[in-house]
Amino acid sequence: MADPIDQVARTFDDASDRFDSLTATVWGPAGQSLVFALGLHPGDTVLDVCCGAGASALPAAAAVGPTGRVHAVDVAADLLELGRLRAEERALQNIDFVCADATTWEPPSSVPEAGYDALAVSYGVFFLPHMDATFARLVGLVRHGGRVGVTVWRTGAMAEFTALVFDVAARYSPEVADRLSLRERTPLHRIDTPETLGAWLAGAGCHSVEVDILSNLLPATDELCWNLVVGSGLRGVLDGLDEPLVDAVRRDLLAAVTERGLHTIDATTLVGTATVRRPPATV
Ligand SMILES: C[S@@+](CC[C@H](N)C(=O)[O-])C[C@H]1O[C@@H](n2cnc3c(N)ncnc32)[C@H](O)[C@@H]1O
């Protein structure tokens, strides 16, 4: 079986040709909200893991300005390349897009010894193997009093649409019939309400926890529905299908969306932030 991190990298690299089509409606609003809620300051040093094409890392770079720095880390090389292009278009020179596994990330020596000022993880924390331990390790890279923040799908978000995608794709790909949804195959279900996300952040050694609900109800146009399949982690359902079969999935999916009367895609997102409490050093 493929290594899960290689698999996630392959899926998001495959999705990279359409990933940006969801920036304006999905990734961008969450990334901006996360950066706003983190309350970054000019000169801050920020770690953004699972950064994709920079939906939160790019606004973070703008927030910390030329005296600050953002380390944007992801395993999907093609998304990182997209992020570099976007940074160049905006003349942002204070952001490094690095291809690395967040679970083993070590800050370079340019990061102050006390740690990063902030950590951002937008729609990524539930992909990390051993989510609790990995997140605790990442929080450990942030200084006492620094800020951490994550975004996750709220319970029920994307659920009806994802179920339709799986149903339709399973007609053409027997492997999809055994596939579990994101909520079933990752620990997302443990942190997808304001209460559970808040408690989880508090349990990771943080205080002043706040969870905002970013309501995001998108008209289910054909274009959006198909972009959600080909430009996100759902892309994996098309693995191994040739072009005519992919066309058949598209046709059937759009018909199913109409038949079901699905007019809105619920992309509602939780934006959770907190402040890091580092226990006093023992002598
Ligand atoms: C849904 S995308 C979100 C990307 C970006 N934060 C955004 O909001 O647009 C999830 C990202 O997590 C990345 N990812 C998953 N596991 C990872 C790991 N172990 N290390 C680094 N990145 C990882 C994927 O490659 C993918 O780009």
- Expressed in angstroms and rounded, the spacing between residue 136 Cα and the centre of ligand 1 is 17
What is the residue-level pLDDT of the chain in tens, covering all 283 positions? 578 889 899 999 999 999 999 999 999 999 999 999 999 999 999 999 999 999 999 999 999 999 999 999 999 999 999 999 999 999 999 999 999 999 999 999 999 999 999 999 999 999 999 999 999 999 999 999 999 999 999 999 999 999 999 999 999 987 776 676 777 778 899 999 999 999 999 999 999 999 999 999 999 999 999 999 999 999 999 998 999 999 999 999 999 999 999 999 999 999 999 999 987 766 5
State how far the Cα of 271 lies from the Cα of 122, in Å rounded to an integer. Answer: 9
Sequence-ordered strand ranges (E) for the chain? 45-49, 69-74, 95-99, 116-122, 142-153, 206-214, 217-219, 264-266, 269-276
Exposure string for 247-263, b = 16+ CB within 10 A, e = fewer: eebbebbbebbeeeeee
- The rounded Cα 273 to chain-centroid distance in angstroms is 15
Q: Is the CB of 127 under 6 A from ligand 1?
A: yes
Best residue among 6, 13, 50 to mutate for probing ligand 1, ranked by most atoms within 8 Å of CB: 50
For the chain, give me the number of helices (H) and strands (E)?
11, 9
Determine the atom of ligand 1 nearest the C-alpha atom of 134: 19
State how far the Cα of 83 lies from the Cα of 89, in Å rounded to an integer. Answer: 10
Q: How far lies 6's CA from each of 13, 32, 78, 189, in Å? A: 10, 28, 13, 23
The pLDDT score that the predictor gives to residue 135 is 97
- Expressed in angstroms and rounded, the spacing between residue 259 Cα and the centre of ligand 1 is 33
- Expressed in angstroms and rounded, the spacing between residue 188 Cα and the centre of ligand 1 is 14
Going from the N-terminus, what domains does the chain have, and what CATH number goes with each?
4-156+179-219+267-276 (3.40.50.150)
